[in-house]
C-alpha cells in the first residue's frame, strides 16, 4: 500500500520533469483585448425567458484568473436558484477563446467565444447532459449607453430560434450567490 501511494505521489513530479519548453503566450489585457470591457467587472442583469416568461435576475462577475492567463465568469440567477461558472482561455489557433461552463443544473457546456463587431462577442457552445439540447449561440455587446445586452438562441431543426436575453448594467456592489457545500451525512 505504501509503495502504491509513493508511486501515485511521484507521478506529478515525473510529469514535470518531462515537460517540454512551452512557448510564452500573451496574457492579461494583451491576450484578452476583445473581452477587456467585461473583465474585472460585475454585471447585474434582468431578462425574460422564451415567450416573455417571468423576469429573471442574473449577476455575472468577470474575474481575471490564473495571473491573466484566463478569465473566470461566475454567475447566479434569482439569488442563487441556479448558478454556473466558466473559465475562458485563448484558443490554441488564436481564433477566439475556448471555455467550459459548469452549472448547478447538472449539465455543462463547451464552446468558443469570438470577438464581434465593436464591443461585442459571439459565443457558440454545445450542451452536454441535457437530452435534446444541442447547440446554443449568444451574442453580447456593450452599447454606447453602457448597457451590456445578451441575446441567446438555440439550434432547432437546422434553424436558430431566439430563446431570450438579458440587459445588464455594471454593479460593483453585486455578488453572485452560490450554493453552499452540503454537510457530510
Q: Which domains does the chain have, with CATH numbers?
A: 26-170 (2.40.128.20)
Residues 114-166: tens digit of each pLDDT: 998 778 999 999 999 999 888 999 999 999 999 999 999 999 989 999 988 99
Between 12 and 132, where is the model more confident?
132
Cell 449561440 locates to 137
Identify the DSSP state of 181.
P
Cβ atoms 1, 88 nearer than 8 A: no
Contact 95, 111 (CB under 8 A): no
Cβ neighbours, 10 Å, residue 150: 20
pTM across the whole model: 0.83
Taking the chain, what is the end-to-end CA distance rounded to the nearest angstrom? 28
Environment class of 38 (CB within 10 Å of its CB; exposed 0-12, middle 13-18, buried 19+): buried
Amino acid at each position: 500500500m505504501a509503495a502504491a501511494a509513493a508511486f501515485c505521489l511521484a507521478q506529478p513530479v515525473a510529469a514535470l520533469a518531462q515537460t517540454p519548453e512551452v512557448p510564452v503566450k500573451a496574457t492579461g489585457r494583451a491576450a484578452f483585448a476583445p473581452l477587456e470591457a467585461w473583465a474585472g467587472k460585475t454585471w447585474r442583469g434582468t431578462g425574460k425567458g422564451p415567450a416573455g416568461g417571468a423576469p429573471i435576475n442574473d449577476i455575472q462577475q468577470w474575474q481575471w484568473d490564473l495571473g491573466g492567463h484566463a478569465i473566470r465568469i461566475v454567475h447566479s440567477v434569482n439569488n442563487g436558484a441556479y448558478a454556473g461558472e466558466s473559465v475562458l482561455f485563448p484558443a490554441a489557433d488564436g481564433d477566439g477563446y475556448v471555455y467550459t461552463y459548469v452549472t448547478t443544473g447538472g449539465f455543462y457546456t463547451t464552446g468558443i467565444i469570438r470577438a464581434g463587431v465593436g464591443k461585442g462577442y459571439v459565443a457558440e457552445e454545445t450542451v452536454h447532459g441535457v437530452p435534446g439540447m444541442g447547440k446554443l449561440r449568444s451574442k453580447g455587446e456593450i452599447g454606447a449607453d453602457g448597457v451590456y445586452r445578451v441575446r441567446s438562441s438555440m439550434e432547432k431543426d437546422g434553424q436558430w430560434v431566439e430563446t431570450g436575453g438579458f440587459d445588464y448594467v455594471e454593479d460593483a456592489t453585486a455578488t453572485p450567490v452560490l450554493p453552499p457545500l452540503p454537510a457530510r451525512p
